Homo-oligomer: A and B are copies of this chain.
């Protein structure tokens, strides 16, 4: 068994409480130290069950908060992609973008992308956040974060996730130009855009 000289019992309170809630027949608080040590590994597994966190929101996105959602003690890497509103598009001055999504289908498509990622790379947690409504210049319209034990998996997964999101997820954006004109668009990489 792993040595326990530096094990801090108080730091086990929360995970043990949560494990007791999951398996009420166990009485973990009264276990001897050696049992506690072996339980600790199970706690990691229970608490760190892979999560796909998908959210559409009208609120401003926080890169720090989305990053924190995928952090795991089992992982050495978090990779992120943040899509921000540019102040120009095809030579025209953009003052903000407005996003709309067909929500049930959009969420479903992102869930499929998460599944694809898990088939391809050993990642832990995946978070895909997309803002809807007006997104001013320099603010984030999307934040994607993926954690993995080693860096290659999350780096490749994030790149795949944003490419797939642009190609497959029904999200429309309207550019609002300085000239007070605007136009709704499907993403030009979207698979059904070829019909235009």
Binding site for B on A (CB under 8 A): 2-7, 44, 62-65, 67-68, 71-88, 92-93, 95, 137-138, 147, 149, 151, 155, 158-159, 162, 178-180
Contact = CB atoms under 8 A, between A and B. Distances in A.
A180 B6 contact: yes
A151 B86 CA distance: 12
A84 B168 CA distance: 31
Contacts of A65: 64
A120 to B, nearest CB: 16
A86 B149 contact: yes
A87 B62 contact: no
Given A4-B178, A80-B80, A87 B73 contact: yes
Nearest to A140: B78
Nearest to A151: B162
A84 B75 contact: yes
Nearest to A79: B81
B67 A137 contact: no
A179 to B, nearest CB: 4
A73 B137 contact: yes
Contacts of A7: 178
A49 B61 CA distance: 26
A26 B73 CA distance: 55
A9 to B, nearest CB: 13
A148 to B, nearest CB: 10
